[in-house]
Amino acid sequence: MSGDLAGRATSLLDLHRPGDPVVMPTVWDVWSAQVAADAGFAALSVGSKPLAHSMGKTDHEGMQFEDVLGRVAQITAAVDVPVSVDVESCYGVSADRVVGRLLEAGAVGLNVEDTVHSEAGRLRTSAEQAELVAALRTASDRAGVHMVLNARTDVILHQLGDESDRIERAIARLRDAADAGADCLYPIGLHDEDTHRRLAAELPLPVNAVVRPDEHDLSVLAALGIARISFGPFLQTALTARMQDILKHWGSDRPPAS
């Protein structure tokens, strides 16, 4: 089993090509994963917010790690493509356990962010986040699978600190994560083209962009140097709007029959 996972992890890592990005639709259950895989996507990402909402729970670690693992195991059993998992800030679980249990569930990649939800949403220091990334890399190496580590910073998303040097601070944090063993860097936020271009140019590893799937353009993001595209909660949001649009014709506010 570890050999299969190792090959799948290598395949996922090889898909991260600046200028020719891998699109990893963000899924939350077997149905959404199968729809995305059947549409021909080469890899998938399990997002914490849509996953939590599908369970009637809240994002920002309103779930338990065991909740995540159970759903991930169902997804990986149903699709034949590499799956990466958003583990938020690790749910208070050790790096060894996070990696080991994810591999048991069939996942070969993870996102880890620098907001600590269990500690009033504080931001880890850059050194703390780098230490966590290094521990995850060590655990991955020990398991014999090069799990694809996507290191995320929330500095831009949460508009932390002075705006004048916010991007520089995000870049510095992600460079530290790169030095600690990350494979991909995730300066999360809905950025303009100039910001995407700068991040892709100044960061030393492939860059993950989050986009609205019903608004953004793949060719534009590719030209900016992005290597990985995910949808965060925005695919589920778009489908919710479409579902509401369909259902309103059948609801109590439909016009009376003539």
User: What are the residue boundaries of the structural domains of the chain, listed by start?
Assistant: 2-247
Question: 53 with 71: CB under 8 angstroms?
Answer: no
How many residues appear in the chain? 258
What pLDDT is attached to residue 2?
A: 59
Q: Per-residue pLDDT averaged across 90-109, rounded?
A: 98
Write down the H helix ranges in 55-94.
65-78
pLDDT at 258: 57
> 224 is written with which tokens?
């900016």
Domain 2-247 classified CATH 3.30.450.70? no
Per residue in 248-258, pLDDT tens? 989 876 666 65
More confident residue, 207 or 3: 207
Token output for 137 = 């890399």
